[in-house]
Chains A and B, each alone.
Chain A
């Protein structure tokens, strides 16, 4: 009787809600059960659980770090070094993969037989070879091909390329902050300018030379800081030093390690193939009538691509390209194979070994990749929304 009443009282909304609530509760119970069980088993095996190790001294060094680090810093700091290195190589990879991918994607649609065919071959070759092999190829091919330190390839006596890396001059700034503020100011001015220009165009049909004014602002403002703001810049050029009979090293300047170069190269060349296909699909996805209509009102070829084709193609290109950005970021974890000190090598590798905290460290690493990927997703979704058709 009671039960019957209860059933009758269920509104449609509750009917949908109850199974969901039960599922969530069950899931939470399962997680709690697994956690407790894992803890008691770890206890039985004499394994302790905790994150206290993060503040201990790491006592290992890392080849390449964007922040100040050596073995006397903590494991948490080592984690940060690895994370920044992962972000660095992913950012470089995404940047070049996008440029290369768009170029090749457009190239595949070219009327020129040679360009179209080479773009096609590029895509077919690089997307069909496992990434790890490409990384090894670029790394060991580069190491074998590059000269030893003493016979470095010399770029105008300021930059040197050899098997130990690419040495470039270091910038030594005075009053760098003033210079930085001037650039930020220039960017803010450019944003206002473009808004103003848009208004002028929409309301009065006037075209302002926005590009030239922006470039001018971006060059002139920072330049004036050199003349008036007390900013100055000097260069520290790498110098060859002999350590022993046949061992040489470049000192001073900035060294870009070959691991970073080959990893970024392999990641961008591989991912570019997928982006190229996305771009091709996006452009092909725009109705032919659109281009013809644009041409019939007298737009130039460049204008058609910029104003008509690309805005529509981007809607098709962005979502799958987001996937490629995510893949690239996750694939950067293959860095460990060639000694690029990313988060997997430094934290899930060396730190895990030294502390033996497998579960803690792998959880942190997984969470980190998750947050990285989610951030990229959020940004790309925002960009996608911006590009989507605005129903009026």
Chain B
């Protein structure tokens, strides 16, 4: 009940906000950023996260949010406000997330959101990068005798979330294999898990990271396995509103800084001591050289604060995804220098 009411309120809010803001849309143009000004005035970054996905954005009993998506918001807060804890988190369902962003209820959406053409181009959003390369997979019961997607047959039932790219990929996949299937789509991940656990469906399909995280919620996690095949590309990344290019750059380079810091071996414990490093790239990262912050109206230590307070990408991944046993193997989310595909433009 609360959920659907929330959605409606959000939409109404969205429309009224659109109305209320008058002509003051996104301040595109020179170095003025309305979002940045508002954020500084408010004293916190308004960040949209999931309603609970271990490893990405998940709140503990005392309401502290952790995860690699949360770390993107923390990085932006560290860069803009000087304190990574100055973030206001808004948990959003898949359905609510874009409306919340376009209406201005949040300024950064870091909610394991897949970057697609239609989302980027069509609905007033801009994706700023990728903080997790994922792909859709299937989970089945170990005793089912299904060892590969090739074992699926006509009549199989598949549970998933509504309002995600998963629903579309599922159709593409089963159609290409010419398999008739029964799609059962729930609004919230928790209900998908419960229904799959109860045997309502034979397989549960979503992003592989999600499968790994949700498996821990099943009554007997060891009775289930994720099939080896990946049926789609799911580059997950933070999103901002279209039209405020300065804010867009801040979020993009906050994420890039974390990845670049890992590449150069700069981490939360050694960052400040590297100010007199011999490597100019490192010196730029810790704010000892160049005037990079000025490009988006920040001081020169913005990137140092990100690394010190949030850590580099590797630290974030280890803490939230590897050490929690969600996906211990980094796979494609390894640096390009170590065989992965994480590659960011140079910060200079």
Which A residues are within 8 Å of any B CB, using their own CB? 34, 37-38, 40-42, 44-48, 59-63, 71, 130-132, 140, 143-144, 148, 163-164, 241, 243-247, 249, 251, 258-259, 333-334, 336-339, 341, 344-345, 348-350, 352-359, 362
- A-side contacts of B167, CB under 8 Å: 60-61, 350
- Establish whether residues B171 and A60, one from each chain, have CB atoms under 8 Å apart when the complex forms: yes
- B-side contacts of A334, CB under 8 Å: 1, 4
The 9 A-B residue pairs whose C-beta atoms are closest, nearest first, are A245-B145, A44-B25, A356-B123, A353-B163, A143-B198, A249-B155, A132-B1, A244-B145, A41-B18
- Establish whether residues A47 and B102, one from each chain, have CB atoms under 8 Å apart when the complex forms: yes
- Establish whether residues A45 and B202, one from each chain, have CB atoms under 8 Å apart when the complex forms: no
Q: A130-B1, A163-B198 are in contact. Are A356 and B122 (CB under 8 A)?
A: yes
Tell me whether B98 is interfacial, beta carbon within 8 Å.
yes
Docked pose: A307 CA to B83 CA in angstroms: 78
Tell me whether B146 is interfacial, beta carbon within 8 Å.
yes
Docked pose: A6 CA to B345 CA in angstroms: 77
| Contact residue among B11, B23, B170 (Cβ-Cβ distance under 8 Å from A40) | B23
- A-side contacts of B291, CB under 8 Å: none
Least Cβ–Cβ distance between A278 and chain B, in angstroms: 23
Docked pose: A38 CA to B103 CA in angstroms: 11
- Establish whether residues A243 and B155, one from each chain, have CB atoms under 8 Å apart when the complex forms: yes
Closest to A41 in B: B18
- A-side contacts of B162, CB under 8 Å: 336, 339, 345, 349-350, 353
Closest to A352 in B: B95
- Establish whether residues B195 and A339, one from each chain, have CB atoms under 8 Å apart when the complex forms: yes
Docked pose: A46 CA to B296 CA in angstroms: 22
Q: A38-B18, A163-B199, A246-B145 are in contact. Are A338 and B186 (CB under 8 A)?
A: yes
Least Cβ–Cβ distance between B64 and chain A, in angstroms: 28
10 examples of A-B residue contacts, CB within 8 angstroms: A34-B19, A48-B122, A140-B195, A243-B154, A249-B155, A338-B191, A345-B185, A349-B163, A356-B119, A362-B8
Q: A131-B1, A244-B144, A338-B191 are in contact. Are A60 and B168 (CB under 8 A)?
A: yes
| Contact residue among A244, A338, A353 (Cβ-Cβ distance under 8 Å from B94) | A353
- B-side contacts of A59, CB under 8 Å: 168, 171-172
- Establish whether residues B156 and A249, one from each chain, have CB atoms under 8 Å apart when the complex forms: yes
Docked pose: A19 CA to B52 CA in angstroms: 54
17 new A-B contacts at CB < 8 Å, known A41-B18, A249-B156: A45-B18, A71-B171, A143-B195, A164-B199, A241-B155, A244-B151, A245-B144, A246-B144, A258-B200, A337-B186, A337-B188, A341-B185, A349-B187, A353-B164, A356-B122, A357-B123, A358-B11
Q: Which of A143, A244, A259, A359 has the most CB of B within 10 A?
A: A244
Tell me whether B241 is interfacial, beta carbon within 8 Å.
yes
Least Cβ–Cβ distance between B320 and chain A, in angstroms: 26
Docked pose: A40 CA to B23 CA in angstroms: 7
Docked pose: A337 CA to B161 CA in angstroms: 11
Closest to A144 in B: B198
Closest to B119 in A: A356
Least Cβ–Cβ distance between B86 and chain A, in angstroms: 26
- Establish whether residues A41 and B21, one from each chain, have CB atoms under 8 Å apart when the complex forms: yes
Q: Which of A163, A337, A339 has the most CB of B within 10 A?
A: A339
Tell me whether B22 is interfacial, beta carbon within 8 Å.
yes
Q: A40-B23, A140-B198, A143-B198 are in contact. Are A244 and B146 (CB under 8 A)?
A: yes
Q: A144-B198, A333-B4, A349-B95 are in contact. Are A362 and B185 (CB under 8 A)?
A: no
Closest to B153 in A: A243
Least Cβ–Cβ distance between B21 and chain A, in angstroms: 6
Tell me whether B269 is interfacial, beta carbon within 8 Å.
no
| Contact residue among B3, B22, B122 (Cβ-Cβ distance under 8 Å from A37) | B22
| Contact residue among A38, A164, A333, A344 (Cβ-Cβ distance under 8 Å from B200) | A164
Tell me whether B184 is interfacial, beta carbon within 8 Å.
yes
- Establish whether residues A247 and B156, one from each chain, have CB atoms under 8 Å apart when the complex forms: yes
Docked pose: A63 CA to B183 CA in angstroms: 5
Tell me whether B141 is interfacial, beta carbon within 8 Å.
yes
- Establish whether residues A352 and B163, one from each chain, have CB atoms under 8 Å apart when the complex forms: yes
Interface residue ranges of B1-36 to A (CB < 8 Å): 1, 3-4, 7-8, 11, 14-15, 18-19, 21-23, 25-26
Docked pose: A40 CA to B94 CA in angstroms: 27
Least Cβ–Cβ distance between B45 and chain A, in angstroms: 20
Closest to B21 in A: A41
Least Cβ–Cβ distance between B241 and chain A, in angstroms: 7
- Establish whether residues A45 and B25, one from each chain, have CB atoms under 8 Å apart when the complex forms: yes
| Contact residue among B11, B172, B186, B194 (Cβ-Cβ distance under 8 Å from A359) | B11
- Establish whether residues A42 and B1, one from each chain, have CB atoms under 8 Å apart when the complex forms: no
- Establish whether residues A337 and B3, one from each chain, have CB atoms under 8 Å apart when the complex forms: yes
Least Cβ–Cβ distance between B184 and chain A, in angstroms: 5
- Establish whether residues B187 and A45, one from each chain, have CB atoms under 8 Å apart when the complex forms: no
- A-side contacts of B200, CB under 8 Å: 143, 163-164, 258
Least Cβ–Cβ distance between A38 and chain B, in angstroms: 5
Least Cβ–Cβ distance between A48 and chain B, in angstroms: 8
- Establish whether residues A247 and B144, one from each chain, have CB atoms under 8 Å apart when the complex forms: yes
- B-side contacts of A131, CB under 8 Å: 1
- Establish whether residues A358 and B99, one from each chain, have CB atoms under 8 Å apart when the complex forms: yes
- Establish whether residues B187 and A345, one from each chain, have CB atoms under 8 Å apart when the complex forms: yes
- A-side contacts of B22, CB under 8 Å: 37, 41
Tell me whether B214 is interfacial, beta carbon within 8 Å.
no
- Establish whether residues A344 and B4, one from each chain, have CB atoms under 8 Å apart when the complex forms: yes
- A-side contacts of B26, CB under 8 Å: 44-45
- A-side contacts of B241, CB under 8 Å: 45
- Establish whether residues B11 and A46, one from each chain, have CB atoms under 8 Å apart when the complex forms: no
- Establish whether residues B155 and A47, one from each chain, have CB atoms under 8 Å apart when the complex forms: no
- Establish whether residues B199 and A47, one from each chain, have CB atoms under 8 Å apart when the complex forms: no
- Establish whether residues B15 and A337, one from each chain, have CB atoms under 8 Å apart when the complex forms: no
Q: A41-B21, A339-B186, A362-B8 are in contact. Are A243 and B171 (CB under 8 A)?
A: no
Docked pose: A48 CA to B162 CA in angstroms: 24
- A-side contacts of B198, CB under 8 Å: 140, 143-144, 163
